């Protein structure tokens, strides 16, 4: 069975948690596409060369969840050639046998416009910054400024800007528990699976 769940949204909205939970629940493979961009940014040097030479081991680096890696990912993701170099990998993963869940910024709009289920997970910048601050610590005001900066870059880039697909189910997790958000996502998948 080929079945794709495309999850988009800004940083710290809950995409990864929902994506991992859906994959486990339905036995689908999961890809956090942000890790691809984080790995490219973390490799340093020429971003296009880094994207073209990416290997699975690069996704295992311990520093990929850091705030610095997230900022680097957002910068390299704005480069059209880097996005193109990583697109084929993502598209192949999405249409693999057995089902797949991909979460990122342009999955439902660019990578998998044919996905059987599209979700757009969001939350206010303040809520997302607080969540990120709980993960990484530091100065919470600085984390909020970085979240807003990243949102502006992700939503304002010329190539594949972050936006919901027209047919995506939009979930604002600002006031939702993770269980509530997951339940809505599970219902959307179950409805399409029949």
Q: Binding site for ATP: which residues?
A: 9-17
φ and ψ of 14, to 5 deg = 120, 5
Annotated binding site: 9-17
Q: Are 184 and 20 in contact (CB under 8 A)?
A: no
- Token couple for 44: 């340093």
Quickly list H helices, 3-139. Answer: 15-26, 33-43, 47-52, 67-77, 80-94, 125-136
Q: 84: phi > 0 → left, psi -120 to 50 → alpha, else beta; which?
A: alpha
In this structure, are residues 172 and 122 in contact, taking their beta carbons and an 8 Å threshold? yes
Q: In what order do the strands lie in the sheet with 100-104?
A: 29-32, 100-104, 4-8, 117-122, 169-172
């Amino acid at each position: 069975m080929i079945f794709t769940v495309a999850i988009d949204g800004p940083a710290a909205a809950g995409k990864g948690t929902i994506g991992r939970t859906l994959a486990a629940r339905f036995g689908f493979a999961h890809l956090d596409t942000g890790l691809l961009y984080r790995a490219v940014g973390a490799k340093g040097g020429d971003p296009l060369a880094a994207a073209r030479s990416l290997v699975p081991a690069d996704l295992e680096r311990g520093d990929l969840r850091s705030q610095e890696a997230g900022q680097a990912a957002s910068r390299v993701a704005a480069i059209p050639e880097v996005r193109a170099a990583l697109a084929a990998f993502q598209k192949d993963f999405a249409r693999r046998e057995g089902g797949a869940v991909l979460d990122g910024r342009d999955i439902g709009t660019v990578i998998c416009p044919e996905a059987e289920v599209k979700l757009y997970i969001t939350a206010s910048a303040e809520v997302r910054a607080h969540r990120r601050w709980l993960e990484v610590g530091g100065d919470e005001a600085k984390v909020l400024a970085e979240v807003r900066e990243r949102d502006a870059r992700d939503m304002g880039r010329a190539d594949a800007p972050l936006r919901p697909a027209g047919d995506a189910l939009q979930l604002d997790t600002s006031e939702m528990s993770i269980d509530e958000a997951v339940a809505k996502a599970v219902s959307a998948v179950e409805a399409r699976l029949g």
